[in-house]
A = this chain, B = another copy of it.
């Protein structure tokens, strides 16, 4: 630790909540309120999301991203269905089988692709191996895209559209895991509608926790018919908070006056600064282009030691995500660095300085 600086780059969920969101929780605390999400804060958050997405939506707030993803996928996938996703997608690799649990046993089929992105060719290939109506095989029912991906990569609107067209033509629904939706949006410079329903997304896990909320995500149905039983799914999953205003207040504050975009923008800028700082150092390689607030870098082992010695915290990343020829050599390591909305410019400078040694 350099003075009071927090050199925590492990994840954007290591930060607390943004002060404005915290204040919204405090402000929402007074007096009685209707329970189970029938409160005014939740209602206003729903209206704000409809406004931001420029259309009617069905919104369900939950406290975790895993709940949002697993519940959303269960609403669009039968137990004998398959969810096609990237092989390294969070839903496939990091949720301890939650999608399988909530869908009563659907299968996640992992597709290959650079930097966590699925290509139309990979999707076509996978679908070619999954004939419809062959009873011995699970049926493709959902395409799950992560925006941004686990590798911090982005889909353009055209890319989403192309994938969604294939999925829809095959009778599948399109889910988007938007745990870092705001970071993606800001980086792409598009509207929320453009990278979601206008590009063919049917249901979105709209994350707020990593970008300034304490514990709040929204499952947003653009295909509102899919939402008709969702209240039962959420309740029986134990995800309907009795004091629902805790969620509503967070989401309302998150969206108010563009706070969510400001915060995502800050986190992205910090990552850009960090990337620039590391790029100037000998021996640092980036396997793919940074697009949001995640920096993936192959660095000399000694550099990693210097950063750790300075009090920095961050995670190694799996070389499996790289082509064999790109993988770290014996004296290199592959690391992931994530600044959040709360990361200070000084922390980034300090980290780069520590790396330089």
Contact = CB atoms under 8 A, between A and B. Distances in A.
Interface stretch (A33-41, A113-121, A255-263): A33-41
A223 B25 CA distance: 36
A237 B79 CA distance: 11
A145 to B, nearest CB: 20
A242 interface: yes
B63 A241 contact: yes
How many chain copies? Answer: 4
Contacts of A2: none
Nearest to A231: B135
Interface residues of A, number: 78
Contacts of A28: 16
A102 B19 CA distance: 36
A236 B97 contact: yes
B67 A238 contact: yes
Contacts of A270: none
Nearest to A65: B242
A97 B107 contact: yes
A170 interface: no
A318 interface: yes
A186 interface: no
A76 to B, nearest CB: 14
Nearest to A64: B238
B13 A242 contact: yes
Interface in A54-99: 62-68, 70-71, 78-80, 93-98
Contacts of A6: 31-32
A224 interface: no
Contacts of A101: 79, 104-105, 236-237
Given A96-B232, A246-B214, A238 B241 contact: no
Nearest to A234: B135
Interface of A: 6, 8, 10-11, 13-17, 19, 22, 25-26, 28-36, 62-68, 70-71, 78-80, 93-98, 100-108, 129, 135-139, 209-210, 214-215, 229, 231-233, 235-243, 245-246, 313, 318, 320, 342
